[in-house]
Every structure is written in C-alpha cells, then in structure tokens.
Amino acid sequence: MARSRRVTSPLALSVLATLSEGPTHPYEIARLLKRRGKDQSVKIRYGSLYTVVQSLEDQGFVTAEGTAKPGRRPERTVYRLTGDGRDELHDRLRELISEPAKEYPLFEAALSLIGVLPPDDVIALLTERLRMLEVELAGTRATLHELIVEQRLPRLFLVESEYSLAMKQAETDWVRGMIAELTDGSLEGVDHWRTWHKTGEFPGEWAQRDWAKADRAGRESEVDEPG
C-alpha cells in the first residue's frame, strides 16, 4: 500500500538530501546548502527551515538524536534521516525527475494577460526584461566557468545551474523574437491590438471569430440565469 505522506517542498527535499550525508543540525543544513549554491535553486530561509524540520520529524522522516554545542554558540538539536525518510527522498526525487509537471510561472501568467497593455508599452517592458536576462546570462556563464575551469568542480554538482542557464537562454531568445515581431508588425493580430487601445472598441473582425462569439454567448447565458 502506497504511503499517503508526501514531501512536496523543495526545501524539505533538500533537508532530507543533506541529512542523507549524516546527522547534523538545521543551522548547519542551511549553511551547507548556501555554501554549495543550492539557494539559487531552492528558497532557503532559516525560519522556514526549522518549521520544515519539525514537520519532517512529525512525519517520521527525520528524528532528533542529541544536541551539539559548537564553541560558544547556542546548543542545537542534531537530526538524522530515518529509513522512511530515505525512502521518501528517493521516491519523490524519482517522481520529480521522471514525470513532467505543469508549473505556473509568473511571467507566463502575465503573458496570458498581455492584451490589457498597449503594444508599445509591452515592447518597452520586454526590452527591459531582455536587458536584465542578458545580464543574468553573462553572470551565470561566468560563475559556471569559474566553478568548472578554475575550481575544477565536477559538472555533476552543477547540473541544476546548467539547466537554469538553458531555460534562461531559451526565454531570452523567445523575448528577443517577440520584440522583433511586435516592432515590425509581423505578429498576427498586433494591428487590431493597437486599434483596440487607440479607439477603446473591440475590433470588429475579432468579434466575428468563433472564440469571441463563444465568449459573448457564455456571458449572456450567465446574465440570463436566475440569481
């Protein structure tokens, strides 16, 4: 029978993965994750970390096995990974790596509502985004070069950074292409979009399309329904 308990938080998975190397306390877990650059892929906050560790303990995935008092620092509880925790870590990672999941990026959500803004405003905004993306790409490439070439860090420990770089490059290329299409008017519908914002009237050609008629029919049916 499959376990109903599931670790869904990336931070919780990171905690389990770190404890798979050996027992330690939450503060050291956060320090290790940040030193290894995992904070670029996982949001790490000390307050949240302690809450996550407590939740993992409640689920039986980690257990306290004593305390440690490093130097003059406060005494800290040391946790270790349980057998169930190791199974959960492996099962969840296998699932996340093998099965694509629908995600909801904020940029994608904003693009779905892009018609609200005038085309020229969108061109300016995308141009600013493109500038920032290119700066980020240059910085990421420089960091990867230093880690791989100068520090000789095995690529195994940098695959998430390589993936992030590839995704950012794809976004950069798409944004650059969209700016070009909006600027030269080759994007289908951009002329009607401009007219819509200039006149405030929904383009008549669009109004005759099946999707627009379906929208109107849906709204009218809602108005006709008894309240």
Q: Which long-range contacts (CB under 8 A, 24 or more apart) does 45-53 make?
A: 48/11, 49/11, 49/15, 50/26, 52/9, 52/11, 52/12, 52/15, 53/15, 53/26, 53/29, 53/79
Q: Residue 70: inside a domain, yes or no? A: yes
Q: What are phi and psi of 20, to 5 degrees?
A: -65, -15
The reply to whether 94 and 110 lie within a common domain is: no
pTM for the structure as a whole: 0.82
Q: Residue 172: inside a domain, yes or no? A: yes
* pLDDT (0 to 100) of residue 168: 96
Where in the sequence is the domain holding 148, given as residue range(s)? 106-187
Q: How many other C-beta atoms lie within 10 A of the C-beta of residue 116?
A: 9
Q: Residue 123: inside a domain, yes or no? A: yes
Q: Tokens at residue 191, please?
A: 């002329």
Handedness of CA 202, 187, 134, 105 (dihedral sign): positive
CA distance 121 to 205: 23
The reply to whether 92 and 116 lie within a common domain is: no
- Tens-digit pLDDT profile for residues 115-124: 999 999 999 9
Residue 54: pLDDT band (50, 70, 90) is very high
Q: How many domains does the chain fold into?
A: 2
Q: Residue 204: inside a domain, yes or no? A: no
The reply to whether 125 and 47 lie within a common domain is: no
Q: Residue 84: inside a domain, yes or no? A: yes
Residues 6+ apart with CB under 8 A from 24: 18, 32, 78, 79
Q: Residue 215: inside a domain, yes or no? A: no
Among the residue ranges 27-31, 122-126, 167-171, 215-219, the one predicted with the least confidence is 215-219
Angle between helices 119-145 and 159-184 (to 10 degrees): 150
The reply to whether 118 and 177 lie within a common domain is: yes
Residue 1: pLDDT band (50, 70, 90) is very low
Q: Taking residues 135-155, report their average pLDDT.
A: 89
Alpha-carbon dihedral of residues 35, 36, 37, 41, nearest 10 degrees?
Answer: -130
The reply to whether 86 and 117 lie within a common domain is: no
